[in-house]
Structure 1
Amino acid sequence: MPIELAALPFDRTALEPHISGETLDHHHGRHHRAHVDAVNALAPAAGMAEATLEEIVRGSQGRLQQHAAQAWNLAFQWRCMKPAAAGGGGEPRGALADAIQLRFGDVARFRERFAALATSTFGSGWLWLVQRPDGKLALVQTANTASPITGDDRPLLALSLWEHAYYLDYRDARGKYIEAFWNVADWGFAASNLK
């Protein structure tokens, strides 16, 4: 069964002014679609034509694994965002807020650490808030198309650090893109991923 490119969970302009419709057209409509198309082209030869995207990420290698991981990462990232008008942004609440406070001290320090890691990531990759098998939270950088689902960490929140995620809106100012993300972060989705 072919992997499908899921529609964005919001209108293409709903994250403006923080992330533009043009960026989403480029990042979702072009890059994400290209990864999905590559998975569908490569999976049959690897005997994985009927596998789910997550099964392909975990069970393949080489180009197929890279495209599948990036397709999975992107699909996850779109769910990590929510328009500000629909409740995106703000502060985490409940168990997630407690876990962030326990691990990082408070939300402000968490954001500082997140920004420091995201701006120091060399080249392309991802920054993840994950839950470790022991239940504790951690921030994890992954290079290029790597995904935490190939290990034991449970992703809660993700941010793409690939240049096409922010160049149209922020040029080389990755830090401004990271700050803008907090206006559309979907803390409810992140909390729903906690075990």
Structure 2
Amino acid sequence: MISRRTLLAAAGAAAAAGLARPHLARAAAPFQQPPLPYGEDALAPTISARTVGLHYGKHHKAYFDKLNTLVTGKPYADMELEEVIRRAKADKAAPVFNNAGQAWNHNFYWQQFKEGPAAPPAAFVEAATRDFGGIDPLKAKIVETADGVFGTGWAWLVADNGKLEVLGLQDAGNPIAEGKTPLLGIDVWEHAYYLDWENRRTAHVKALLDERVNWGFVGERLAG
């Protein structure tokens, strides 16, 4: 696997040859927050532009900022983000794991709403029917699981050896660290919904599943 240091070195060489890739050449930290894949108002009214601005621009950004501070001068700085999550868990490096996990979780979170809502592909419907009795029972299980996460955390739909499962994970909990493939992630930290929904977490989760999730994206994750 090519490390970020190697990529940065290559970018420097390319600059000298007049072939610079500016986003690599200017990289000031090993991990960069991806751009939001749509405008801040794209998820309204389910998620308001104000919530997206704070969630993406403050909370999500803060995880990247803290992670970059924590990994400076350490082997983690040369790893891909998913590898950092796995390694930090094995190392019991909780601060690195928490910030790497939350950075990745939010990258995934924003992507799953892009171009949504969209209907699930047939293969995903078949899997949901096999493992949960259909799409609606699957949604009900995600809502139930999200409601059961005490305090902060995530409700995840994952694939494990081809089977669909729903997990409730605390804080920065991440399916990658559990050896499972994430298909859908619902953030139930209060910053994800409180401005718009106040204490109605369950209603917020239902609305996301019905109005904002791109189920085509979820199905592609399963197929991939």
**TM superposition score normalised by structure 1:** 0.93
2:166 to 114, 122, 139: 139
Q: Is residue 65 from structure 1 mapped to residue 101 from structure 2 by the alignment?
A: no
Q: Is residue 104 from structure 1 mapped to residue 132 from structure 2 by the alignment?
A: yes
**What's the secondary structure of 2:157's corresponding residue?**
strand
Give 1:93 deviation, angstroms. 2.1
Q: Is residue 180 from structure 1 mapped to residue 207 from structure 2 by the alignment?
A: yes
Q: How does 1:47-58 map to 2 (within 5 A)?
A: 47-58=75-86
**What's the secondary structure of 2:77's corresponding residue?**
coil
Q: Is residue 158 from structure 1 mapped to residue 185 from structure 2 by the alignment?
A: yes
The whole-number CA distance in structure 2 between the counterparts of 1:152 and 1:187 is 22
- Whether contact under 8 Å (1:127, 1:161) holds in the other structure is yes
After superposition, the CA RMSD in angstroms is: 1.3
Give 1:10 deviation, angstroms. 1.2
Deviations 1:86-133 (A, max 9, x none): 4x1254222111101111101111111111111121100001110012
**Which runs of 4 or more aligned residues in structure 1 lie more than 3 Å from their structure 2 counterparts after TM superposition?**
none
Deviations 1:35-93 (A, max 9, x none): 000111111243222211111111122201110001011111111113xxx4x125422
Between Structure 1 and Structure 2, whose CA radius of gyration is higher?
A: 2
**What's the secondary structure of 1:49's corresponding residue?**
helix
Residue type of the alignment partner of 2:94: G
The whole-number CA distance in structure 2 between the counterparts of 1:49 and 1:107 is 40
The whole-number CA distance in structure 1 between the counterparts of 2:156 and 2:119 is 17
Give 1:193 deviation, angstroms. 1.1
Q: How does 1:82-97 map to 2 (within 5 A)?
A: 82=114, 86=115, 88-97=116-125
- Whether contact under 8 Å (1:19, 1:180) holds in the other structure is no
Greater alpha carbon shift after TM alignment, 124-133 vs 36-45? 36-45
Residue type of the alignment partner of 1:166: Y
Counterpart residue number, 2:150: 122
- Whether contact under 8 Å (2:118, 2:216) holds in the other structure is no
Counterpart residue number, 2:18: none
Aligned residue-pair number: 190
Which 5+ residue runs of structure 1 have no aligned equivalent? none
**What's the secondary structure of 1:180's corresponding residue?**
helix
Counterpart residue number, 2:49: 21
**What's the secondary structure of 2:138's corresponding residue?**
helix
Counterpart residue number, 1:193: 221
**TM superposition score normalised by structure 2:** 0.81
Q: Percent identity?
A: 35
Of structures 1 and 2, the one with the larger relative CO (CA 8 A, separation 6+) is 1
